A = this chain, B = another copy of it.
Amino acid sequence: MRTRYFKLTIAYDGTGYGGWQLQPNAATVQGMVEKSLGKLAGRVVRIHGSGRTDAGVHARAQVASCSLTTRHPPFALRRALNASLPEDIHILRVQEVDAKFHARFSAKGKEYRYQVDCGVVADPFLRRYAWHRPRPLDVGAMRKAARLLKGRRDFSALAAKSERSPVRTISKLTITRQGDLLTIAIAADGFLYKMARSIVGALVKVGEGKLTPAQLKELVASKKRTALVETAPARGLFLWRVRY
């Protein structure tokens, strides 16, 4: 048997996990998938995710890559892996790829989506999947602020730690409302640490009238994070798509 290379597309409800990345003292999504692969392979299998997701963050389509010495076709691998994974983590697709494919280094961009529950009373079915903000939001002002954030710029002011290369390009930043549910979609060539949740925190502040779109623009231009920017809670965030 020869070594083959696979791309795994994974959906997970992050509520019960200490995030994507392996940790010694918490169940993690990477850990669960590696355990399931290990059972199949009879040895330790390492996987590489497109990036980490924090504790409590979800994924509609996280991508990971790995090598495996196996005779099984991709659909049989998927079935076997799902059979030993818990109900809150499932492999949506297994595709055989070139040895050069790497889930992180080959990624060209990502999309995150964030759900805000604007109902006066919190929806019990969204308690794990949305941030409840019962005060009325000015969606028009939020959209105006969103337009000011699009494009290529230094996002240091909207990241939770400083990085050497803080310039990213946001290609899409939309806000859609369906009943009491607000969905913020953000696509970029890459995200700084907690950048998606910081953007959501800032946009919600704009929606609540505590920050004007112009002030947010200045804040970003200052390249310095201040207490004005809150990080929105993990439970509303979904890694929606990784682009290759």
Chain A interface residues (CB < 8 Å from chain B): 11-13, 58, 78, 82, 87-92, 121-125, 127, 129
Contact = CB atoms under 8 A, between A and B. Distances in A.
A37 to B, nearest CB: 16
Q: Which of A58, A121, A124 has the most CB of B within 10 A?
A: A124
A91 to B, nearest CB: 7
18 contacts: A11-B121, A11-B123, A11-B124, A11-B125, A12-B124, A13-B124, A82-B121, A82-B122, A87-B122, A87-B124, A87-B127, A88-B124, A88-B127, A90-B121, A90-B122, A90-B124, A91-B121, A125-B129
A221 to B, nearest CB: 38
B89 A124 contact: yes
Contacts of A125: 11, 13, 58, 129
Nearest to A89: B124
A134 to B, nearest CB: 10
Contacts of A89: 124
Contacts of A12: 124
Nearest to A75: B120
Given A88-B127, A90-B124, 5 more contacts: A11-B125, A13-B127, A87-B124, A87-B127, A89-B124
A210 B88 CA distance: 30
Q: Which of A88, A89, A121 has the most CB of B within 10 A?
A: A121
